[in-house]
């Protein structure tokens, strides 16, 4: 009779462990799918941001920027802090964006709610590269740009 209970306990533990393992696999799959969806949303958000950047209405960029946004740009000698100051810098940049195009974009998820996007760009004969740091804001349900670093390639730019 003791062997019966021992076998029963082993079966219950094995069955319970199997159910727990299955749940862990399902959870990992859901997290991977969620990460894939967020990356897709990030790509769309980046594309929408660049399309607005090519336009002539800098205020349309503000919904993309987190309140604590900061940025560095070669021809501005200080760190630009806050969404309102960033809009002022983008006004200057947007006035120079004739024939702006971006290429070689890559997205790198840092975590479920943080990502880096890098790309090269050209604006007429001027070329450079930009890094954007994005944060997923659960309250807004969207990606918010928190940092922008733009560099000009050697030999051009201001």
**Above 90 in pLDDT, residue 131?**
yes
Q: Specify if 157 maps to a domain.
A: no
Mean pLDDT on 96-108: 84
Q: Number of folded domains in the chain?
A: 1
Burial label for 64, CB within 10 Å (0-12, 13-18, 19+), is buried
The answer to whether position 117 is within a domain reads yes
- Within a domain: 49: yes
pLDDT of residue 11 exceeding 70: no
Burial class (CB in 10 A: 0-12, 13-18, 19+), 2: exposed
Per-residue pLDDT tens digits for 20-49: 766 665 565 555 555 678 888 899 999 998
Instruction: Provide the percentage of residues in the chain whose pLDDT is more than 90.
Output: 20
Tell me which residue range forms the domain holding 30: 2-152
CATH no. for residue 95?
A: 3.10.450.50
Residue 75 lies in a domain: yes
pTM of the prediction? 0.71
Q: Identify whether 119 is part of a domain.
A: yes
Token pair 């940092």 is found at 147
Q: How far apart are CA 84 and CA 133, in angstroms?
A: 18
Q: Confirm whether 158 is domain-assigned.
A: no
């Amino acid at each position: 009779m003791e062997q019966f209970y021992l076998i029963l306990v082993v079966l219950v533990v094995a069955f319970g462990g199997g159910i727990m393992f299955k749940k862990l696999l399902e959870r990992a799959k859901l997290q991977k799918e969620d990460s894939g969806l967020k990356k897709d949303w990030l790509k769309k958000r980046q594309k929408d941001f660049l399309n607005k950047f090519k336009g002539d209405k800098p205020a349309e960029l503000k919904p993309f920027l987190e309140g604590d946004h900061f940025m560095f740009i070669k021809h501005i000698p200080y760190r630009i802090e806050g969404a309102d100051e960033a809009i002022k810098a983008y006004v200057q940049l947007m006035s120079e964006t004739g024939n702006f195009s971006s290429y070689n974009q890559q997205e790198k998820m840092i975590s479920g709610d943080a990502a880096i996007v890098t790309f090269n760009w050209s604006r007429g004969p001027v070329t450079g590269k930009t890094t954007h740091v994005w944060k997923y804001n659960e309250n807004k349900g969207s990606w918010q740009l928190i940092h922008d670093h733009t560099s000009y390639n050697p030999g051009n730019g201001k």
